[in-house]
Structure 1
Amino acid sequence: MDKKDSEEWLKARVEKANAELARQAGNQEALPAQLPLWPDSVRAVPNALLRGALFSISNVRDVVKKRTLLASVKGIEVRFKGERLNQTDLDTWETIIHLARTQDLGSQVRFSAHSMLTMLGRHHGREQHEQLKEDISRLTGAVVEITIKEEGQAFGGTMVQSYYRDEAAQTYVIEVSPQLLKLYQAGNTYIDWSERQQLGNANLAKWLHGFYSSHAVQIPYKVATIRDLCGAKASQRLGDFRKLLRTALDLLVTKETSITGWLIDENDCVVVTRRPSKSQKRYLER
């Protein structure tokens, strides 16, 4: 093959490759640029994040060095690597995404540390500022892979894509991945923010609130299953966890959240009664 023939052959290969890339791009579903707009009174969270141990109830932050499968409901697989996340991290992440919903994903989300702490219902002292720094850093460093079996799709990445902080002004610029839209499209739940905030540091109650809010139909779950799904320590005795569970469920009722009652039946299954949201009512009517 002489030089001229080589150039023609290379040109043909490049054109063929470009044509194939264009074809593949044309077959991909275009992602909407923006999250759906939800009211200020709620936080929209993908169901996949509420139905497992990604945001656990534990305040002990183990470091997972290898991509590890976490407990989750059937149909969802969650793998994780990094410093474990808990309900405090979920509060912070929900609030960042709440701000991000008003603009294109991948755009810069700007806020002051003071305003973020106010939205989170925290004080504004040095300790709370340091906690916010840790929260955002942890969300940026934790690698998550979520597979929705029914959709045949997987999201892989970090909960926060990148951040910049102006130390003098104590302001943040944060970016989140546009691919998060896929998780929202697979199903999401509006979490009543005032109900969640009034639960304070009761991590198990907060987890249960999100978990049951993500179900239009309340399915009985065994106490042992809930212990695994919420990320409680596997070494914790089931009897001890059952006591904590009863206390958390009582708190949800006394705080007048959407959970109005509960019992643990003869099969050691937790059965709750709950007021469905407006969208869940429509779903149940259909």
Structure 2
Amino acid sequence: MEVVSLRAVKSRRPRTSVDFLARMQERNMERALADAQLPPWPDNMRGVPNGVLRSALFSATKRGTRRYIERETIASVKGVSIIYTGPRLDQSDLDVWEGVLQVARLVKLGDRVEFTQKGFLRLIERGGPNGNSIGKSDREWLRTVLARLQATAVEITQGPSAYVGSLIDECSRDDGNNGRCVVVLNPKMRVLFNRDSWTQIDWNIRRALIGHPLAQWLHGFYSTHAAPIPYKAETLRHLCGSESGESACTEPKRHKALLNWIALSLIPALRALENAYRDAGQPFSGKVGADGLVSISRFPSASQQRHLRARAEDRRAHLNAGDRLRHRGGIEQERGGQRQTQGGDRTNTTGG
């Protein structure tokens, strides 16, 4: 009687797509830890992971009472998964997190990032364009936001990469030393900035939209698309974290709430975006069709243009390879037919 060890049986277990994804995530994390520094980007841009911008993690809701969330799945596009624990975050929180990433890109992740509260508030242009209006309330606001970002726990999966941790690992301050703050980010966060998994946000446009949270969210969302595709207005309302219509209990009421959101929130946000892009000298247009589809036209960034060209070249190479295979297949089929004909002739001749 043959005895098969349990280890041998386990080793014969067929590999699944889940196993493959786990191995991919492990390899991506190893690469990230080997180079635990954020990729470079210009001072007038902000680098943000695509999964963050394509979700309601930093919602487009107005300031108010913040609901505490316990391991809740955040609305996101297909291919992105976010499970979140912590106080609800909004676009002003994203301004601060982008600012932290901005200064952290100059050092390795895991190293101490030091800045003064006033200098940081100037960086995110809080307290006027030159920071001349920064006061005690602004510094208190910054301390509150940094504490809120540290009190988060996220599980972000975008494609073959996954990050589990806090948006800010450590945060401390010395109020007696010019209000100096020290922030530390998790080195594993580097995995969210792998190739084609993050986007450069035009800060000049984003700052022009301060006070328009939905316009800011739309700016970030569509900045991740090299070639924007139409989305249903209802889908965008869900993805941005809007609470409009949540209390509606019937389909007519939900539809009315959606129409109100389109008229009072979405269309004004699109107009604000058009104005901000125009002031920045960049083309942009957005419209809501009668079918409820939102169509966006914008000029892709330089990196997105390179991405589109590379994708087009890959598509052409794939088509050419297919043509060559079909061509060779046709030749082989033709040759095979000739061999069969010749063989048939010989058979017939022999038979005669």
- TM exceeding 0.5: yes
> d(CA) in 1 for partners of 2:93 and 2:238?
19
Q: Which of 295, 299, 302 pairs up with 1:278? A: 302
Secondary structure of residue in 2 paired with 1:115 = helix
> d(CA) in 2 for partners of 1:122 and 1:60?
19
The equivalent of 1:238 in structure 2 is: 258
The amino acid across from 1:195 in the alignment is I
The answer on whether the counterparts of 1:92 and 1:120 sit within 8 Å (CA) in structure 2 is yes
> d(CA) in 2 for partners of 1:205 and 1:122?
18
Are 1:165 and 2:177 counterparts? no
Q: CA deviation at 1:65?
A: 4.2
Q: Deviations over 1:47-80 (max 9, x none)?
A: 0110010000112343334200010000101111
The equivalent of 2:287 in structure 1 is: 263
Q: CA deviation at 1:263?
A: 1.4
CA 281–83 in structure 1, closer or farther in 2 if over 3 Å, else same? same
CA 224–177 in structure 1, closer or farther in 2 if over 3 Å, else same? same
CA 265–93 in structure 1, closer or farther in 2 if over 3 Å, else same? same
The equivalent of 2:11 in structure 1 is: none
Specify which structure has the higher proportion of helix.
Answer: 2
The equivalent of 2:10 in structure 1 is: none
Q: Deviations over 1:95-148 (max 9, x none)?
A: 111101011110000000010011111121111111101110000001111112
RMSD after superposition: 1.8
Specify which structure has the higher proportion of strand.
Answer: 1
The amino acid across from 1:201 in the alignment is G
The answer on whether the counterparts of 1:73 and 1:229 sit within 8 Å (CA) in structure 2 is yes
With structure 2 as the length reference, what TM-score do the two structures score? 0.71
Identify unmatched segments of 5+ residues in structure 1: 1-23
1:246-257 pair list within 5 angstroms: 246-255=267-276, 256=278
With structure 1 as the length reference, what TM-score do the two structures score? 0.87
Secondary structure of residue in 1 paired with 2:183 = strand
Q: CA deviation at 1:259?
A: 5.7
Q: CA deviation at 1:28?
A: 4.2
Are 1:175 and 2:179 counterparts? no
1:67-146 pair list within 5 angstroms: 67-123=71-127, 124-146=134-156
How many residues get paired? 260
> d(CA) in 2 for partners of 1:82 and 1:234?
22
Identify unmatched segments of 5+ residues in structure 2: 1-25, 128-133, 247-256, 311-352
The answer on whether the counterparts of 2:244 and 2:261 sit within 8 Å (CA) in structure 1 is no
Query: Whose radius of gyration is greater, 1 or 2?
Result: 2
Secondary structure of residue in 1 paired with 2:149 = helix
Secondary structure of residue in 2 paired with 1:135 = helix
Whose RCO is larger (CA < 8 A, sep 6+)?
1
Q: Deviations over 1:239-258 (max 9, x none)?
A: 12102100000011112255
The answer on whether the counterparts of 2:73 and 2:81 sit within 8 Å (CA) in structure 1 is yes
> d(CA) in 2 for partners of 1:197 and 1:76?
26
Give % identity. Answer: 37
The answer on whether the counterparts of 1:64 and 1:80 sit within 8 Å (CA) in structure 2 is no
The equivalent of 1:66 in structure 2 is: 70
